[in-house]
Structure 1
């Protein structure tokens, strides 16, 4: 067993984990932050994206011990301080960027990372950035529209699909 300490969603946490414990499993099972989804166990789907020290990371590809001392943000940490949806989350709701919701936490976390790097991405840039995130329901159109709206761009001319 290995002792790990990190800050998750602004709160210090620590615990003992086996060396092979993935960050996704530590977040879900030990910390009960179940918004980080595990969809594939092979780093293909992006449902487990979290931010580690400000960078988007697939939590199924990182051991919990590797996050020692890190700042980790999960989907639960994305809401505004009053508990309301943040701009990206609200845009996903407003523009129907979700259906079953399974991929949504990873999509929101990836979108936040993209908008941090590129505050006004084009549709092509968004689609390229989301290449590592799989959605089996939406066809991506409204996800892209939601991210563009969250960036403050006018999406009124983009038809709903």
Structure 2
């Protein structure tokens, strides 16, 4: 029937396909308080971890990192759901799933903001290697009069 045609494509990745507009990128991954859906005593989420990694796009490596834990002020006791969130994930989703799709391993503990930021940087490195050109998607700078 000649209904199928095979087309061979060479997998060439070069710098001309991935011109980057940035030399470095900051990767942030805030972690916040959380509750199970069934929990009746939910409170508004509060940031409990503020991590950041500085990723060198040309070298494809993390060159610096920062991590600070923050005490919640409204509800200082973490829910049992929140403290157990880092374990018992049956099906990889989100960042972990994205890494697995690309054959990359998640390193560290899931839902640890610093480890999530490191793995997000690894994902960015793979995207750049695969030819993705990183650009600003939204400018949220404050305009002064």
Fold shared by both chains (TM-score > 0.5): no
Superposition TM-score, scaled by structure 1 size = 0.27
Larger Rg: 2
Q: Which has the higher helix share?
A: 1
Q: Indicate the structure whose relative CO is greater, using CA pairs within 8 Å and at least 6 residues apart.
A: 2
